[in-house]
Amino acid sequence: MTRIVVFGDLNVDVVAVQETSLAHGSDTAARVSLQPGGGGANVAAWLAKLGVDVTLIGRVGTDPLAPVALSGLEGVDLQVVHDAHRATGTCIVLVSPGGERTMLPDPGANDAFAVGDLPPLEGDVLHVSGYSLMRPGSRAAAMAAIDRAREAGMKISVDPASAAPLANDPVFLQRIAPIDLLLPNADEAAVLGPQIDVPELVVKFGANGARWTNGVDTVIGRAVPVDAVVDTTGAGDAFAAGFLSVWQTGMAGDALAAGAQCAAKAVTRVGSRAS
């Protein structure tokens, strides 16, 4: 049984599902809810739901939002630091009709994760959310986790996480090299450009599926059709978890199919955690 260690954000998402397009400078009717979120925690939650042994390394505050961020993580081995000075990370998520989301993140305690907070890494795969690598406060710890995983002979997977911050981080790929698997979506891959050089690359195209390549062979995975897209928040995290659940034991096509199944479930509900 493969154990996957996930390093990444734990957040509370304030999700506003809009009834109409956003009326700038005025009011837009919406259904608002608090949901657990964060790129690292979402992947860990989906992995646990799939029956994978998974550890989550992260940081939350000691405020009333911390229990919300930590909910929905049943079955996950939590190696989570509680920060007495910074609030739990929070993200405002605006979901437009059709399910597309726009996010306004405040990393809070996530950006205070220090190298000294890292527990021993015990597993076969380390998966790192790109947010931790792009933010200056958590970058050293994320890099230390990658270095230690490499020394321990663990496979390393990275999800670049978001196209806009990547555009301001031109050395992202050089910083993390070498790794074994990169999981960008199409926008992130476009920002990273042709210099992507990893043993395995999976590009996520949302409703148009995903593509895996090792530089020699290429496999195309189809998306799973859904009746209605409610909220795309965390769909990429769900896909990553599905892919990783099969990655070390199955064929690329099987891993892509597992990722598509999880992503399809994710977009039919509000919020980003498995339920």
- Burial label for 260, CB within 10 Å (0-12, 13-18, 19+), is buried
Rounded CA separation 163/158 (Å): 14
- Would residue 19 count as lying in a domain? no
Contact predicate 135/106, CB 8 Å: no
Given a cut of 90, whether residue 233 has pLDDT beyond it is no
Catalytic residue among 63, 77, 111, 237: 237
pLDDT of 244: 98
- State the residue range of the domain holding 159: 3-11+38-88+107-266
Given a cut of 80, whether residue 103 has pLDDT beyond it is yes
pLDDT of 215: 94
For residue 88, what are its two tokens?
């739990």
- Would residue 274 count as lying in a domain? no
pLDDT of 1: 67
Over its C-alpha atoms, the chain yields an Rg (Å, rounded) of 17
- Give the chain's domain count: 1
Contact predicate 216/204, CB 8 Å: no
- Would residue 217 count as lying in a domain? yes
- Would residue 93 count as lying in a domain? no
Rounded CA separation 158/217 (Å): 20
Residues 6+ apart with CB under 8 A from 137: 107, 111, 112, 113
pLDDT of 275: 63
Given a cut of 90, whether residue 231 has pLDDT beyond it is no
Q: What is the pTM of this model?
A: 0.93
- Would residue 33 count as lying in a domain? no
Given a cut of 80, whether residue 274 has pLDDT beyond it is no
169 is known as an active-site residue:
no
- Would residue 43 count as lying in a domain? yes
Given a cut of 90, whether residue 142 has pLDDT beyond it is yes
pLDDT of 272: 75
Where is 6: in which H helix or E strand?
A: strand 3-7
Q: What digits encode the pLDDT tens for the residues 32-84?
A: 999 999 999 999 999 999 999 999 999 999 999 999 999 999 999 999 999 99
The arithmetic mean of pLDDT across residues 222-234, rounded, is 89
Rounded CA separation 252/246 (Å): 8
- Would residue 132 count as lying in a domain? yes
Given a cut of 90, whether residue 250 has pLDDT beyond it is no
Q: What digits encode the pLDDT tens for the residues 146-163?
A: 999 999 999 999 999 889
pLDDT of 34: 92
Question: pLDDT grade, residue 260 (50/70/90)?
Answer: very high
Q: What digits encode the pLDDT tens for the residues 179-210?
A: 999 999 999 999 999 889 999 999 999 999 99
- Indicate which CATH number applies to the domain containing 142: 3.40.1190.20
- Would residue 20 count as lying in a domain? no
pLDDT of 100: 82
For residue 20, what are its two tokens?
């109409």
Rounded CA separation 60/81 (Å): 6
Q: What digits encode the pLDDT tens for the residues 112-134?
A: 999 999 999 999 999 999 999 99
Mean pLDDT of the chain: 94
pLDDT of 23: 87
